[in-house]
Amino acid sequence: MTPSQFDLLVKRMIAVNTPKVVVLLVLLVWWLDIPKHHDAPYQVIEYFAGVGRIAALAKLCGFTTAAVDIDYSREWGKRMGRRPPMDLNGNAGLVLCIHLLLSSEWEAVAAFLAIVCSSFVPVNRGSTWRSILTPLGNEEFVGVRRGNKLVARSVILMLITYLANGVFLVENPGNSLIAFHPRWVWFLEQLRKHGVEIQKVAFWMRKYGCNSWKRTWLWANSNRIAALDRGPLTATEKSTARPTTTRYKNKSGETKFKGNSSLKGSQKYTYKYAAKLITLLPDFRSDARGRPFAVSSEPLQEQFAAMSYDDEGKAWEQEADLRDVIQYVRGAKKLIIPLLSRVFSTETLAAGLQLVKTEAGMSDLSDLNPQELEAELRELEAGHVDLLQFVDLLMFWYPLFHPLPWAIPFHIPLSV
């Protein structure tokens, strides 16, 4: 993505009423001086990649690919006593995922998101308290809060992909309540205002060699995803499939069910399914919805300055937990903010950083002059990890702890 394309991307974010706190985060990530690991921009990005079959097959077909999954960095996090840097719910993880999109090819990137579904499927509704009327569930439970945060942050990635004229594909099991998440609903509403309808297809993963039936839902900004539906299951496909749940009776005699060993295996994409996606990729791109897109002719700096932190922005800041991320990026030593105008100066950023002061007693940033603010920020930087300091460790140790050699992500910038 070139600077002029990024300028257009941010203008589009503003045009679809993206909250200022989200725009600020994207700007800060763009200003990070992260070295490139290759010259070609990314064309296929697989989030929640698991064994990384989509990225691996896309690489074999000549695409520049990247794959991100918390498991790729879990061992490093254990050794270093830190959060895995590829955890989308972590500060570094969200920065990395946004950076990948900002380093992608304009009008050509395809982002695949198999968002973790455990908190949104029927089998767990008794513990999450989720329903169509209460999609956020009972947030007193840690797992519910993590699921809500993960979806909200995934919507940011979907938004960037869409506005970069790319195509996103989001997969979840059938009957998942993920599409009722408030941030997801907001995303659909903004697109609908611009005449864009997100397409949805339901199909059986058993048709692609999965060991269970696995009814699957897929959302994308391309109606070509309809080609993934291969019709109803045959009698043979039904009888030879392995059940993913086990039914039992509790002490009260009530029939219950729980996941069994086959459930874990059904979470991995089959080669047949990954190959089908890559085969359809040119069709997905040609049919991606949302082009062309009208934006304001006013300079970006003026548009950003005219934005305000409204209630919608507060909801985003809370549900996606953006406060710590912005504070984290602003404290990075590799952050270089261009002083093109007052809009992007320290004095103006003070208003934005008002939202991200810590609960530990950081002084009110709005009361600081620019010199005092810089002193606060330098102190903040000293308490944060350099975004690039662990890249050498990851590049050295990654091949040793990853269990599946063919799932190694290709050209992935392990710098965040």
In angstroms, the CA 278 to CA 156 distance is 24
**Confidence (pLDDT) at 355:** 46
Task: Judge whether 42 lies within some domain.
Answer: yes
Asked whether 66 and 42 are in contact (CB, 8 A), the reply is yes
What CATH number should be reported for the domain holding residue 88? Answer: 3.40.50.150
Residue bearing tokens 């392990």: 414
Task: Judge whether 303 lies within some domain.
Answer: no
In angstroms, the CA 75 to CA 319 distance is 28
Task: Judge whether 247 lies within some domain.
Answer: no
Percent share of the chain, pLDDT over 90: 37
Domain limits for position 72? 3-231+269-295+386-407
Task: Judge whether 369 lies within some domain.
Answer: no
pLDDT at 128 over 50: yes
CA atoms within 13 A on the CB side of 325: 32
Q: Nearest-CA neighbor of 110 among 167, 25, 170, 35?
A: 167
Residue 263 phi, psi dihedral angles, 5° rounding: -65, -40
Q: What are the tens digits of pLDDT across the range 313-324?
A: 888 888 898 988
What is the band of 390 on the pLDDT scale with cuts at 50, 70, 90?
Answer: very low
**Confidence (pLDDT) at 372:** 59
**Confidence (pLDDT) at 262:** 59
Task: Judge whether 120 lies within some domain.
Answer: yes
**Confidence (pLDDT) at 379:** 58
**What is the longest distance spanned by two Cα atoms in the chain?**
73
Q: What are the tens digits of pLDDT across the range 41-51?
A: 999 999 999 88
Report field, pTM of the whole predicted structure over 0.85: no
| 363 compared with 307, residue with greater pLDDT | 307
pLDDT at 335 over 70: yes
pLDDT at 306 over 50: yes
Q: Could you tell me where the DSSP H helices lie in 177-330?
A: 182-193, 235-239, 261-265, 271-286, 300-306, 311-319, 322-330
Query: Two tokens at 199?
Result: 């397409």
| 354 compared with 286, residue with greater pLDDT | 286
**Confidence (pLDDT) at 119:** 84
If one counts the domains in the chain, the total is 1
Task: Judge whether 194 lies within some domain.
Answer: yes
Task: Judge whether 346 lies within some domain.
Answer: no
In angstroms, the CA 148 to CA 319 distance is 7
| 360 compared with 378, residue with greater pLDDT | 378
Q: What are the tens digits of pLDDT across the range 161-196?
A: 999 999 999 999 888 899 999 999 999 998 888 888
**Confidence (pLDDT) at 260:** 61
Q: What are the tens digits of pLDDT across the range 52-89?
A: 999 999 999 999 999 999 999 888 888 888 888 899 99
Q: Nearest-CA neighbor of 32 among 402, 384, 302, 407?
A: 384
pLDDT at 9 over 90: yes
The residues with which 298 forms a beta bridge, in sequence order, are: none
What is the band of 375 on the pLDDT scale with cuts at 50, 70, 90?
Answer: low
Task: Judge whether 75 lies within some domain.
Answer: yes
Burial 255-285 (b: 16+ CB within 10 A, else e): eeeeeeebbeebbbbbeebbbbbbebbeebb
Q: Nearest-CA neighbor of 165 among 95, 121, 214, 108?
A: 108
Percent share of the chain, pLDDT over 70: 76
